[in-house]
């Protein structure tokens, strides 16, 4: 399994050229399968989103500040301009592109953490893995090796779930680190002294997630 350090390093040291006209990545359909270890669609989305948004955030902000315009409606630079001349040109980029992508990633990770928690409950409550003494004795009478197989199956399922719990906990931690680094770049380049990025993002994503 990919470690937090490897994943974080890949996000920030990818060495890939960033095209400021790349289209906005979308997450896969939310279903349990995307959370499993052998499914790559969600982990690929997370990597692509971080690559397109956070790895290149300095380039994107500089493009906005320099009044770069795009004709592509799906371009990351295609959004409404500030209503007032006093507004920072960074705000539309932050609110209309960065926040939505951050929120999609947070929601996807939360979804998988919730699914894995549910999977753990299902294993714990699986009647085939949690027999009564009477049921076990009857099964042993029919097949002396049956309980050994059931115990092995329960261990395997528990190990699989524990691995998934660790995986998505790591992704959540990585996501926090990535956002913090991007926030530092935003504050470094944008004149938004009255705009608390972390606070505004929590308000934005909380409101969007409840809809």
- pLDDT per residue as tens digits for the range 173-209: 999 999 999 999 999 999 888 899 999 999 999 866 5
- pLDDT per residue as tens digits for the range 1-46: 444 444 444 433 333 333 444 566 788 999 999 999 777 899 999 9
Residue 210 confidence (pLDDT) above 60? no
Buried b (16+ CB within 10 A) or exposed e, 180-208: ebbbeebeebbebeebebeeebeebbeee
Averaged pLDDT score across all residues of the chain: 78
- pLDDT per residue as tens digits for the range 119-146: 998 887 766 656 666 666 666 666 666 6
Residue 68 confidence (pLDDT) above 50? no
Q: Can you give the residue ranges of every domain in the chain?
A: 4-116+174-210
How much is the average pLDDT of 94-100? 93
């Amino acid at each position: 399994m990919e470690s937090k350090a490897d994943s974080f390093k890949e996000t920030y040291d990818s060495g890939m050229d960033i095209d400021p006209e790349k289209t906005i990545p979308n997450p896969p359909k939310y279903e349990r399968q995307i959370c499993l270890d052998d499914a790559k669609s969600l982990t690929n989305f997370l990597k692509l989103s971080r690559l397109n948004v956070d790895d290149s955030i300095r380039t994107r902000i500089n493009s906005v500040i320099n009044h770069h315009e795009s004709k592509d409606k799906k371009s990351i630079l295609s959004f409404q301009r500030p209503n007032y001349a006093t507004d920072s040109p960074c705000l539309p980029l932050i609110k209309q592109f960065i926040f939505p992508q951050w929120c999609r990633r947070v929601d996807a990770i939360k979804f998988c953490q919730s699914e894995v928690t549910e999977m753990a409950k299902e294993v714990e409550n699986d009647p085939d893995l949690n027999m009564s003494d009477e049921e076990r004795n009857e099964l042993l009478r029919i097949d002396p090796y049956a309980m050994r197989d059931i115990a092995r199956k329960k261990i395997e399922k528990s190990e699989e779930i524990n691995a998934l719990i660790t995986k998505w906990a790591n992704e959540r931690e990585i996501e926090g680190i990535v956002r913090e680094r991007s926030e530092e770049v935003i504050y470094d380049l944008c004149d938004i002294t009255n705009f608390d990025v972390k606070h505004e993002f929590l308000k934005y994503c909380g409101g969007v997630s409840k809809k």
